[in-house]
Amino acid sequence: MATVLISDLHLDDSRPHITTLFERLLAGREVRSAQALYILGDLVEAWIGDDDDAHLPARIAAATRAVSDAGVRVYFMAGNRDFLLGESFARRAGLTLLDDGTVHDIEGRRTLLMHGDVLCTDDSAYQAVRRQVRQSQWQAQILGMPLDARRAFSAKAREDSRAHTGSSGEAIMDVNADAVAEAMRNAGVTRLIHGHTHRPAIHRFDLDGQPAERIVLGDWYAQGSLLRVTRQAIELSGLPIS
């Protein structure tokens, strides 16, 4: 038995095969026999509210609810694409919501869990937008808009995000080493797992004289990135996308 972690699936109607891959993973033996399943943000390309009547949220809820009903705890942490996902959908989907920066005991080791975007401190423009959209007043204003208006707003936000990504250097959009060390030090851990950067890797380094590791989950564009954690080992791999 292992604990399974995924992030940055960016599920969207334009890539139906990825949604199918997600459903197959959650219906399979590995997840159904896991200690727990963690989804560390950006499950979807865009989340416009728990009242979205599109088919995709219903498919996601059915898939995660089935895992929960099978006795596997399903944890969800919001990313920069799905920060509007709330308690209403979580109840329907069998999700346990986690705050960004939660520490959990995973297979006997205290582990800091993050989406990862807050660690990209060199991208000051992005961090300013992040602070705005995480404010409850801003979110209430958006969620008060009609669904069609929210869909249009979301499409424009995605356009702006692609433009920002295209005009920014790769180093700026990666995590800041000092921010990583500070987050781990404040949490009192030597293991951090996060997503967001789409750069899957296991980084081992020294933190205040102790061996530490930062595990980065990959996205679900070229492959279905998956992390398996047991008491004996960690394995970062990819599911083939046909």
Residue 169's pLDDT band, with cuts at 50, 70 and 90, is low
- Evaluate whether 11 touches 43 at the Cβ level (below 8 Å): yes
Write out pLDDT tens, residues 47-70: 999 999 999 999 999 999 999 999
pLDDT greater than 70 at residue 139: yes
CA distances from 198 to 8, 187, 189 (A): 7, 24, 23
Q: In this structure, what token pair is assigned to residue 194?
A: 């996060």
What's CA 233's distance to the chain center, in Å?
A: 22
| Encoded amino acid at 10, one letter | H
Residue 164's pLDDT band, with cuts at 50, 70 and 90, is confident
- Evaluate whether 23 touches 53 at the Cβ level (below 8 Å): no
Grouping H, G, I as helix, E, B as strand and the rest as coil, residue 225 is strand
pLDDT at 136: 95
CA distances from 30 to 5, 26, 211, 227 (A): 12, 8, 30, 12
Q: How far apart are CA 95 and CA 91, in angstroms?
A: 6
pLDDT at 242: 67
pLDDT greater than 80 at residue 227: yes
For 35, which DSSP code?
S
What integer is the mean pLDDT of 200-212?
A: 97
Residue 176: which region, alpha, beta or left (left: phi > 0; alpha: psi -120 to 50)? beta
* Phi, psi at 96, each rounded to 5°: -105, 115
Instruction: List CB contacts of 75: < 8 A, sequence separation 6 or more.
Output: 36, 37, 38, 39, 95, 96, 97, 98, 104
* Phi, psi at 19, each rounded to 5°: -65, -40
pLDDT at 240: 87
pLDDT greater than 70 at residue 191: yes
- pTM (2 decimals)? 0.95
Q: How far apart are CA 136 and CA 110, in angstroms?
A: 30
Token look-up 């026999």 returns: 33
